[in-house]
Amino acid sequence: MKLFIPTLAAALVSATVTLAEQAPTEHQGVSVSGRGALELGAQIPEMEGFQVRIRQVTVEPGGVVAVHGHEHRPGAFFVVSGDGVMEIRGKEKHHIAPGTAVLESKEVHHWVKNEGDQAHLFVFDIVPVED
């Protein structure tokens, strides 16, 4: 399994980084299924108002998960199938292939494009209850 940590990668910019294309502002070809959530306050009192959310996100060929940030929360996803590109902070592009685990700190600002066959992502988030 590959592990990718965007905040660490952002600090290690290299000469091989491809310049960014325009970040999409709307999801295209994206569907969500298998939603589940667990309120964290009952488990960890300091986490009152937050929940763990798990879902499967399918991104069709050529589809995109629009640019977004995690200003107030971490997140994570695992690439089950399909190939894609993740762009971070409008500067860096990283290939994400099946078996890649992406851990997102609260500082990450990114988007994902599927450049292969149908992609399936397993997404794990800690989010405010109202999200």
Confidence of residue 13 (pLDDT cuts 50, 70, 90): very low
User: Considering the domain boundaries, does residue 127 fall inside one?
Assistant: no
Q: How many CB atoms lie within 10 A of CB 8?
A: 11
Domain tally, the chain: 1
What pLDDT score does 2 carry? 57
The CATH number linked to 107 is: 2.60.120.10
pLDDT in tens, 94-106: 888 899 998 888 8
User: Considering the domain boundaries, does residue 19 fall inside one?
Assistant: no
Gap between the Cα atoms of 113 and 96, Å rounded? 10
- Whether 44 has a pLDDT exceeding 90, the answer reads yes
* Residue with more model confidence, 83 or 12: 83
User: Considering the domain boundaries, does residue 18 fall inside one?
Assistant: no
Q: Residue by residue, what is the 3-state secondary structure of the chain?
A: CEEECHHHHHHCCCCCCCCCCCCCCCCEEEEEEEEEEEECCCCCHHHCCEEEEEEEEEEEEEEEEEEEECCCCCEEEEEEECCEEEEECCCEEEEECCCEEEEECCCCEEEEEECCCCEEEEEEEEEECCC
What pLDDT score does 4 carry? 54
User: Considering the domain boundaries, does residue 68 fall inside one?
Assistant: yes
Gap between the Cα atoms of 64 and 54, Å rounded? 19
pLDDT in tens, 59-94: 999 898 888 887 777 888 899 988 888 877 767 888
* Enclosing domain of residue 32: 2-11+26-122
User: Considering the domain boundaries, does residue 99 fall inside one?
Assistant: yes
User: Considering the domain boundaries, does residue 130 fall inside one?
Assistant: no
What pLDDT score does 15 carry? 26
- pTM of the shown model: 0.73
- Whether 40 has a pLDDT exceeding 90, the answer reads yes
Gap between the Cα atoms of 93 and 87, Å rounded? 4
User: Considering the domain boundaries, does residue 93 fall inside one?
Assistant: yes
User: Considering the domain boundaries, does residue 16 fall inside one?
Assistant: no
Across residues 36-51, what is the average pLDDT?
92
